[in-house]
Homo-oligomer: A and B are copies of this chain.
Amino acid sequence: MTAPRSRRERPAKPALTREGIITTAVGLMRAEGLERVTMRRLATELDTGPASLYVYVRNTAELHAAVLDELLGTVELRPRKGNWQDRLVRVLTSYTKVLFEHPGLAQSALVARPSGTNYLNLVEAVLGLLAEGGIPGGQAAWGLDLLLQTATATAAEHQTETSQEDWDLLAAAVRDATKATHPNIAALGPQLLAGSGPDRLIWAFHVVINGTRTTPRESS
């Protein structure tokens, strides 16, 4: 038996504050997906008009960035086991996993660079592990961006519905590439499409970590 509720059926309407808006936005995303987290839909959820939200949120991009930062609170920042490189891959995999569940957010993250608390904690953790690995500061600073970009872009690519059709089209194109016109594609053939997503991603992280370690900044 549930306790009696005040008049409304839905959970108590949050106060119209930035915090309340973002909490509601996160709930809405969990319930209906990011594509439903629009100013209008969110305003309906809060029993107000869309104009009211602009008092607390600059625009849709900022709203989505705030939602993302909220989710980044769940990233595993301090794994226990393994050497620095293994732990770094774990942190990055955990970050990617959060984004995979909402590829639309990954897209936002690419376009509107995040700068929230949880994002900063992620940056701190990655830099700590790169430092532990003895990677020079200049390379670590740039490598950080490249690692997070790789994770974010991979998640953004995973926009599901269409991506299966695109994959089929690409597979067909690769199959039709003849030795005469595209010898290198023909030579590699199925290898181009082989490998599971996770295997590729973990390999990619190692590639970027190794490259960051061995590529000095002044090099060309």
Q: Which residues of A contact B (CB under 8 A)?
A: 61, 86, 107, 110-113, 115, 120-121, 123-124, 127-128, 131, 137-138, 140-146, 149-150, 152-154, 156-157, 159, 162-163, 166-167, 169-170, 172-173, 177, 182-185, 187-188, 191-192, 194-195, 200, 202-204, 206-212, 214-215, 217, 219-220
Contact B146 A185 (CB under 8 A): no
Q: Shortest beta-carbon distance, A66 to chain B, in Å? A: 12
* Given A152-B153, A215-B203, residue A137 in contact with residue B177 (CB < 8 A): no
Top 3 A-B residue pairs of the complex, sorted by shortest distance between their CB atoms: A211-B211, A207-B211, A127-B184
Contact A185 B150 (CB under 8 A): no
Cα distance A207–B216 when bound, in Å?
9
The A contact surface, by secondary structure, is helix
